[in-house]
Amino acid sequence: MNAVTARSVGEAMTRGLITVRTSALVYEAAQLMDAHRVHGLPVLDADGAIVGVVSQSDLLRAKLDGHLWKNLPRLEVRQVMTAPAITVSLNASLEDATRLMEEHHVHRLVVVGSDGETPVGVFSVTDLVHVMAGPLSS
């Protein structure tokens, strides 16, 4: 099954998870987003637990905050990320995931494995568009 015929989050999500630590510098997160052409990154604490997401919107808000921006060389991801991360189960339906994104006004959900904690992917609006752009089935 591919993203176009997906019926669950696990079938449609983006794999190859790229994450960043809370202690990483904001410019490092921006470099990761730029290099991997993603709009947001799950943020992990020192123990590897998911604690938030840093997105392009968070970077935009940091740019507009004069105090944060002037401290950019020392600014850590924890200072600009959105927390807590909104997560969704690997087995959740696309409808449930879409509803969750709409309710929380976010563009991506961190997909967690069967333990309910381990991040295994990201389901984003882009993934949903891939599904929607596919052939319609009856």
pLDDT tens track, the chain, 138 positions: 445 567 899 999 988 899 999 999 999 999 999 999 999 999 999 988 899 999 999 998 888 888 777 887 889 999 999 999 999 999 999 999 999 999 999 999 999 998 888 899 999 999 999 898 886 554
For residue 39, tell me if it sits in a domain.
Answer: yes
pLDDT of residue 112: 93
DSSP 85: P
For residue 138, tell me if it sits in a domain.
Answer: no
Residue 54 CB contacts under 8 Å (≥ 6 apart), including other chains: 20, 26, 29, 40, 41, 43, 77, 80, 81, 82
Q: For residue 14, what are the domain limits?
A: 3-133
39: Cα separation from own chain's centroid: 8
The enclosing domain of 85 has a CATH number of 3.10.580.10
For residue 19, tell me if it sits in a domain.
Answer: yes
Our count of domains for the chain comes to: 1
Model-level pTM? 0.84
